[in-house]
């Protein structure tokens, strides 16, 4: 990353963190609304990504009504456990009822944070919101490297993309 790019990234991260702090100070709600799904919209999501700087990140956009999303949930759960401390995982529940999403997460818990995204505004940050599920890969430098539209057919396919795009950086 160039020096100008690094300065721009730091400025963007600072604005995202400040916005998230201001939202929470102004009664924007708690980071997690009693159901384990974080609110705060795009600003909170960006602030969370910024806090993971130096770590590859895998973002999974899903919805409780999405059968392919449900099918691949165990792949993400298992990969997150296997790669704990090496790769960060983040869930984005888009275009879904928070109550339905919370019910589904009680049945199929995931070991990583989830963000509410009722209007797919968060998903648009990583080129999501067009297909369910969508998976985005950020390298350790915080750059969006690849966005995969649709479900993974196997955990091995997901693991290969994690290595290729998140760990190796694309």
Check pLDDT > 60 for residue 22. Answer: no
Q: Give the chain's domain count.
A: 1
Closest CA to 135 of 85, 73, 83: 73
Q: pLDDT tens for residues 75-127?
A: 999 999 999 999 999 999 999 999 999 999 999 999 999 999 999 999 999 99
If you search the block for the tokens 């059968």, which residue do you land on?
Answer: 67
User: Can you give the pLDDT at residue 2?
Assistant: 53
Where does the pLDDT of residue 35 fall: very low under 50, low under 70, confident under 90, or very high at 90 and above? low
Is there a domain that residue 74 lies in?
yes
The answer to whether 41 and 125 have CB atoms below 8 angstroms apart is no
**Alpha carbon distances (Å) from 95 to 5, 21, 170:** 33, 25, 29
Instruction: Look at residue 93 and tell me if it is in a domain.
Output: yes
Report which of 87, 81, 98 is spatially closest to residue 40, judged by C-alpha positions: 98
Report the pLDDT value the prediction gives residue 13, as an integer from 0 to 100.
41
Residue 156 is predicted with a pLDDT of 98
Residue 68 lies in a domain: yes
15-41: average pLDDT: 50
Query: Is residue 71 situated within a structural domain?
Result: yes
pTM over 0.75: yes
Q: Is residue 156, in this structure, part of any structural domain at all?
A: yes
- The CATH number given to whatever domain includes residue 63 is 3.40.30.10
Structural domain boundaries, residue 88: 37-167
Q: Is residue 17 part of a domain?
A: no
Q: Is residue 118 part of a domain?
A: yes
Predicted pLDDT of residue 36: 83
Q: Which of 167, 164, 155 is nearest to 79 (CA)?
A: 155
CA dihedral 125, 90, 47, 30 (to 10 degrees): 120
């Amino acid at each position: 990353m160039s020096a100008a790019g690094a300065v721009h990234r730091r400025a963007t991260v600072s604005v995202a963190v400040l916005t998230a702090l201001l939202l929470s100070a102004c009664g924007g709600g708690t980071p997690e609304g009693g159901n384990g799904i974080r609110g705060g919209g795009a600003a909170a999501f960006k602030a969370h990504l910024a806090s993971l700087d130096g770590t590859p990140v895998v973002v999974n956009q899903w919805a409780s009504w999405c059968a392919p999303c449900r099918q691949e949930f165990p792949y993400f759960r298992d990969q997150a456990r296997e790669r704990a401390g090496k790769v960060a995982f983040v869930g984005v529940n888009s275009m879904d009822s928070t109550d339905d999403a919370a019910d589904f997460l009680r049945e199929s818990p995931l070991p990583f944070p989830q963000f509410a995204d009722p209007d797919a505004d968060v998903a648009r940050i990583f080129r999501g919101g067009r297909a369910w599920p969508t998976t985005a890969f950020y390298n350790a430098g915080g750059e969006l490297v690849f966005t995969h539209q649709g479900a993974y057919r196997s955990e091995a396919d997901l693991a290969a993309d994690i290595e290729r795009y998140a760990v190796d950086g694309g």
